[in-house]
Chain A
C-alpha cells in the first residue's frame, strides 16, 4: 500500500511494539520493526522523503505515543513562540460586542518513546501537510516578529478539521471600540498552549484564546491571551510537549490585524 492511497488512518495514542508496527497517516507512512539488537524506525512521506532511526537495546518491546504537537519544529526551530494565523475569510465584529468562533489550528505530529516510568521522550516530528511549516513576519521588516504561519478557515460547531493537519481552536473576540472591526489575522504566543486529543481517534483541540480589540493612543490594537480549553474533560489526553514555554502568555497586535 502506498502513502498516497491509504484512507484508513492510524489514531493518536499509545502503541506497544514487540515485532512490527505499520502506521498510516495522511501522506505519511511509518514502520517500526524489531531487529536483532534494536528497533528500527522508518518514515516516508508522499514526496518520497525518508527518515531512518534506530533504537538500540535488547528490549522485548517498546511503547510509543503518537500525538499532535505545536507547529514550531518544522522546517527548523526559528521563531521564539509566535503563531500567525491568516484567516481565509476575515471576521467582522460589531462595536461593543463579543463573539465566539472556531478556527483550524495547524499541528505537527510527534512521536514519543514511552519510558517505563511513563515519562515521554521526544523521538520524531513531521507534518502531514508539506505546504505547512512556513514562516511569516508580523510587523514591518525593520522591527517585525518572525512567526510560524498557517492559512486557516473558520469551522462550524459540528465541523471537524482535516485530521492530523489541523486541531480545533476556540477564539473569543471582544470589540471594545465604538465601531465595527474586521480581523484577518491572529498573532499570539503558543508555547503555553496545550493540545488535547481523544485516545484512538484523530480529534485534536488546542487551548483557547481571548482577543480584545481596544483603542490606544497609537491606534487600535488587539490583545490576545491564552485561556485553558473550556471543554476540557477527563476523557481527553494532553499531548506531550516538545517546547520550552516562552516568557509571555499574551501578545499585543500593534501592527494591524486586517
Chain B
C-alpha cells in the first residue's frame, strides 16, 4: 500500500511521490552538508581572514552546496525544471509587482557586497537615520548594525545603499574636538600651554604627532572660545572624549585660569551723571 503511494504521479506531470521524496531527501542532505561545511569553514579558515571576506565566503559555500545538491537531486530524478521556469516567468511578473521593495533590497544587498562602501566589522554612522555602531552583517535583504549601547538595528539594504554613510574605518586614527571658553582677562597663550601639557601628560591615547591643536575660534559673549582638536587611534573615542574636558578643566582650575559661565553686566542709569 505504502509503495503504491510512492508510485502515484502528481497531476500527470510524470513526477511520482517517490521521486519527489528522494529529491527532498537529497536537498535536505545538501542543507546538512552545507551547514557542516559552513561550521568547518568558520572554525578552520575564517579566523585568519578579514571579517567581510569570511562572511561572504561562508554564505557562498553554504548556498552553493545547497544549490548544487538541489540541481543534482532534480536532475537525477528526471524532474524537468523547464515547466517550473515557464510557470515561474508568469508568476515572476505577478510577484515582481507585489514585491518591488524586496527585490530592491536584494539587489542593493548584492551591490553592497560587491562595491563594499563599508565592510562588516567597520564602525559606521548613518546620519540620516541617526544610527551609529558596528556593521555586523549584510544579509540578503537587510544589514544589521550593533549600536554602541548594544542594541542591534536592522536597516533594509535599499536604505543602506542610498544613505550617506560615515565610516571611521579607512584611517587608523580619528579626531575629537571640544570647545573650551576662558575668561577675557586670561592670557590665551598660557591657557593653551596649560591645556597642551595636561593633554600630553594625562591622555595616553592622544597622539603625540600630529599633536593636539588649539584654535581661537570666537571672541564670544562671555568667553574667548578655544577649539581643541585631539587625534587618537580610531577605536579609542570612548577613552578620549569623556576624559578630554575633565583633563582640561582640572588643569585650568589648577592654574587658576577662569572658565567663565554666561553672565551679563547691567549698568543702571543715573540721572545725576
Contact = CB atoms under 8 A, between A and B. Distances in A.
Interface stretch (B23-31, B77-85, B155-163, B204-212): B204-212
A141 B200 CA distance: 19
A136 B209 CA distance: 5
A144 to B, nearest CB: 7
Contacts of A141: 171, 173, 175, 210, 231
A142 B170 CA distance: 7
A84 B209 contact: yes
B121 interface: no
A134 interface: yes
Contacts of A137: 172-173, 207, 209-210, 231
Interface string A120-164: 000000000001011111000111111001010000000000000
A84 B204 CA distance: 16
Interface in A226-242: none
A75 interface: yes
Interface residues of A, number: 18
Q: Is the interface of A mostly helix, strand, loop or mixed?
A: strand
Nearest to B204: A75
B254 interface: no
A135 B233 contact: yes
B209 A146 contact: no
A135 B200 CA distance: 11
A132 B21 CA distance: 70
A75 B207 contact: no
Contacts, number: 48
A45 to B, nearest CB: 13
B201 interface: yes
Contacts of A245: none
Contacts of B172: 137, 144-146
A170 interface: no
A146 B208 contact: no
A78 interface: yes
A142 B171 contact: yes
Given A78-B233, A141-B210, A141-B231, A134 B204 contact: yes
Interface of A: 75, 78, 84, 86, 131, 133-137, 141-146, 149, 151
- The 10 A-B pairs of least Cβ separation, nearest first, read A136-B209, A146-B172, A75-B204, A136-B208, A149-B208, A134-B208, A78-B233, A135-B207, A137-B173, A136-B207
8 contacts: A75-B205, A86-B209, A134-B207, A134-B208, A137-B172, A143-B171, A144-B172, A149-B208
Given A78-B236, A86-B208, A141-B173, 8 more contacts: A75-B204, A134-B206, A135-B208, A135-B232, A136-B209, A137-B210, A145-B172, A151-B208
